[in-house]
Chains A and B, each alone.
Chain A
């Protein structure tokens, strides 16, 4: 009898233990990364790696809320820059009960509504089109990346006081066309600053005719808003013609493709100036350095494929920082919502803030779904295949130089 009672007691304990285990069982926060891994691997991998770094750190640290422990998992889906594939990817993500979708921006116009029906947030970590994000009409679409509007207005703000006659060169890709709209908007009030508006055919092997047209217009500066390969060809056409005009551009300039294209003429890259989201914040370079070190430990440094003074040049993971920040923000939202209930997580995303990889505070609210404000756009200039912040812009001049050689 006593033995039976002991057995019963032991069973009760086991049952209690099981019950406790079930209450704190491990659950998953699934984040689908929908990006062009096959067509633009640099962009796709940058977004995915940033997200994966954050997910690994969060899983290691452990997210416990609502009586459950969560691990974060990244589901990588290739959209190949195709909107219909992006829609199919979003459908798959929703079938697999993804908590959020992280995207470069491809197909968001079509796919956001599908995600919205299930209250799943979609975060854009690359494209800057102004129509993509609108908290009123698209309550589940967020962005952590510089906007086209921000880049264009900061470029105008930076260039107009220099009294330059600027030739606006945009390529005929969608990226270039969106840029042209943003530049037209930014330079509307200063038409005299614009010497010419020229379209660059993205498929042309030689852009000398377009560069000659810009030169004949009397331009004293070129502002090129084009895909990296087209930017490289434009610089080559300009410099090979012996025209030493200053060239300004967008974050496309920091894509390794540009420097690889011009590797035989490193001096042609010198002076190329571009606008992008700043890597460091008021807190100084320490948070960024920590993030960069973690990134390189996890994935290795992204080699550009060129050398500077005999040392290997690497690309800093600045855009990976945005996807990294979103995953952390999502984890904060899950904690705030005490679980992964989609509607609650979506609502919480409008409330929570986190400290970003560069030390900046990241967060959204009901009226603003932009994670990078226009004032965070800085300017950098290339010399010896690496870039450093310019000194003639109030914001940029305060930013530290980030080492890009290993």
Chain B
């Protein structure tokens, strides 16, 4: 068969697979989303007499910017108050390019989006490791900074009259408000779909994990800071795109339009509509529109401008949503609908055994760690052999968990060396160690918020994926889908090992404490490790849970893993350990074999 013909056949197969996959994953929520999209597209024809098309188009661009912010708030759990600044950056960058070049309007908007993404990357880098409150304050300051810069630099902002933007055709159409509206609806729809695709993919699962429990995510090698910068950049890109097109609708880049109030309104829209739902931010923008109408009515009654009431009403609504449990409109509606008509559960389980990693020896030589004047670990050496369980015991403060952290890369040692087979790990990050085959679980019964059991465990597979990037997830390439199937198989195998395969579609929050502990073991197993570090897995376990844990540890050993078990429960240690190291004041004071203590 000739090359073009072969390519056509491959394309046909890929398309059929895509359709089948779409059919399989189509839900009632997707049907509702489609209906909303159609209704939105027809809105100007239905509401023409009530709401002006240019007002609708402005609102639709606002919805696009809010959906972009949903990526940051909903996926990464980062309350950014800089989206208005990103919209403004896109608007002014596009306005300057439009004024000084003859480039097509779409390209100018794209340049605006890229400029905003640049600012978003810088902002994300600055706040990558901050907690939510500091992120909110930092990004709020960025919004002020842009507003002040626009006020102080007339050459940039055009002064009080703004930068007047020349109008050009949009995708071959005259740039009427109707064309802008339909374009904004299409872009918002695409952005919402992208949000859904990213949320289901490795990028979204990693972000969700990092947002819910940073420590547990770090233990699974989730590169939180890089993901956060990526979420900021993507969010800013969408905001900049909205600004780049909206400025062409407004025909002026207005320095007064992109102040901190816009950032606040966008965040209100996302939180009120629901950051967890793809269409939540758009619904939030509709609510804001209704608030504007209410503010106008109140203003009419009070004899002042309605704009004086609008921020007040928005703040009240936000407070109401937050104080009533933060259950926003769209997620609440979806939850109610699901109670009435539950979504069908997955019937088939993916088949196929994952390829096992080569089992290797972990060697640690003369590890030392001091915290100020306290020596936590003092010259500890150990070897973790494949198909062996090594227990680390000792009184509280003896340095057990610190040894575990040094091995996992959560803290760097002051002295010493760590190798896994031929890999030098001493300077490797936690994420790199997970990729090489060294994984750890936490002492706490951490879990990742609303994710299902399957999604939890899938977070573990992301470290070993080669085709799971955000862009591939967006376009759902054949390689991405194939790797997805493999990841699911690997994850089901891990869930079966810990006895949770039957609970795959349940929310993790419904599991017991011991169940969550086993779930995190499954997530760690899904990374396909050769060395497994467990930090007190029996803490708080009931007798029946201990039995199950014992069986799991034996299964790990049987599968050829090298296991390091930090444990207080000596009966468990006796039951499973091949070698036991006793620590005291950071030193190994005793080594025993075959469970003798």
From 123 to 169 in chain A, residues with beta carbon under 8 angstroms from any chain B beta carbon are 129
What is the minimal beta-carbon distance from A79 to any residue of chain B, in angstroms? 10
A95 contact set on B, CB distance < 8 A:
52
Find out whether the CB atom of A110 lies under 8 angstroms from the CB atom of B308: no
Alpha-carbon distance between A114 and B165 when the two chains are bound, in angstroms: 12
Find out whether the CB atom of B164 lies under 8 angstroms from the CB atom of A91: no
Alpha-carbon distance between A111 and B164 when the two chains are bound, in angstroms: 9
Find out whether the CB atom of B305 lies under 8 angstroms from the CB atom of A37: yes
**Interface majority SS (helix, strand, loop, mixed), chain A:** helix
**B152 in contact (CB, < 8 A):** yes
Q: Which of B54, B158, B254, B307 has the most CB of A within 10 A?
A: B254
**A107 in contact (CB, < 8 A):** yes
A: interface residue count bin = 20 to 34
Find out whether the CB atom of A174 lies under 8 angstroms from the CB atom of B52: no
**B160 in contact (CB, < 8 A):** yes
Known A38-B305, A38-B307, A110-B251: A88·B58 in contact at CB below 8 Å: yes
Find out whether the CB atom of B54 lies under 8 angstroms from the CB atom of A88: yes
Known A84-B257, A91-B54, A107-B252: A177·B154 in contact at CB below 8 Å: yes
Alpha-carbon distance between A83 and B164 when the two chains are bound, in angstroms: 9
**B162 in contact (CB, < 8 A):** yes
B307 contact set on A, CB distance < 8 A:
38, 78, 80
Contact of A83 among B52, B55, B160, B305 (CB under 8 A): B160
Alpha-carbon distance between A178 and B308 when the two chains are bound, in angstroms: 29
**A56 in contact (CB, < 8 A):** no
Find out whether the CB atom of A81 lies under 8 angstroms from the CB atom of B250: no
**B478 in contact (CB, < 8 A):** no
Chain A residue at minimum C-beta to C-beta distance from B58: A88
Find out whether the CB atom of B58 lies under 8 angstroms from the CB atom of A109: no
What is the minimal beta-carbon distance from A103 to any residue of chain B, in angstroms? 12
A113 contact set on B, CB distance < 8 A:
251
Chain B residue at minimum C-beta to C-beta distance from A172: B152
Alpha-carbon distance between A88 and B246 when the two chains are bound, in angstroms: 12
What is the minimal beta-carbon distance from B289 to any residue of chain A, in angstroms? 14
Find out whether the CB atom of A83 lies under 8 angstroms from the CB atom of B54: no
Find out whether the CB atom of B256 lies under 8 angstroms from the CB atom of A110: no
Find out whether the CB atom of B162 lies under 8 angstroms from the CB atom of A83: yes
Alpha-carbon distance between A110 and B160 when the two chains are bound, in angstroms: 11
**A281 in contact (CB, < 8 A):** no
Find out whether the CB atom of B162 lies under 8 angstroms from the CB atom of A108: no
What is the minimal beta-carbon distance from A101 to any residue of chain B, in angstroms? 15
Contact of B160 among A81, A85, A87, A111 (CB under 8 A): A81
User: Residues 148-172 of chain B: 1 if any A CB is under 8 Å from the residue's CB, otherwise 0?
Assistant: 0000101000111110110000000
Alpha-carbon distance between A285 and B309 when the two chains are bound, in angstroms: 43
**A92 in contact (CB, < 8 A):** yes
**A82 in contact (CB, < 8 A):** yes
Contact of B159 among A87, A91, A110, A174 (CB under 8 A): A174
Alpha-carbon distance between A96 and B256 when the two chains are bound, in angstroms: 26
**A106 in contact (CB, < 8 A):** yes
User: Residues 548-560 of chain B: 1 if any A CB is under 8 Å from the residue's CB, otherwise 0?
Assistant: 0000000000000
Chain A residue at minimum C-beta to C-beta distance from B167: A113
Alpha-carbon distance between A87 and B163 when the two chains are bound, in angstroms: 12
Chain A residue at minimum C-beta to C-beta distance from B254: A84
From 270 to 325 in chain A, residues with beta carbon under 8 angstroms from any chain B beta carbon are none
Find out whether the CB atom of A38 lies under 8 angstroms from the CB atom of B161: no
Find out whether the CB atom of A177 lies under 8 angstroms from the CB atom of B252: no
Alpha-carbon distance between A339 and B161 when the two chains are bound, in angstroms: 33
Find out whether the CB atom of A91 lies under 8 angstroms from the CB atom of B52: yes
Alpha-carbon distance between A240 and B152 when the two chains are bound, in angstroms: 29
Find out whether the CB atom of B254 lies under 8 angstroms from the CB atom of A82: yes
Find out whether the CB atom of B54 lies under 8 angstroms from the CB atom of A80: no
What is the minimal beta-carbon distance from A238 to any residue of chain B, in angstroms? 25
Find out whether the CB atom of B161 lies under 8 angstroms from the CB atom of A110: yes
| Sample of 29 A–B contacts (CB below 8 Å) | A38-B304, A38-B308, A78-B307, A81-B256, A82-B254, A82-B256, A83-B160, A83-B161, A83-B256, A84-B250, A84-B254, A84-B256, A84-B257, A85-B254, A87-B250, A88-B55, A106-B160, A106-B161, A108-B161, A109-B162, A109-B252, A110-B162, A110-B252, A113-B251, A114-B251, A129-B161, A173-B160, A174-B154, A177-B159
8 A-B pairs besides A83-B160, A83-B256 with CB distance below 8 A are: A78-B305, A83-B161, A109-B161, A109-B162, A109-B164, A110-B161, A110-B162, A111-B252
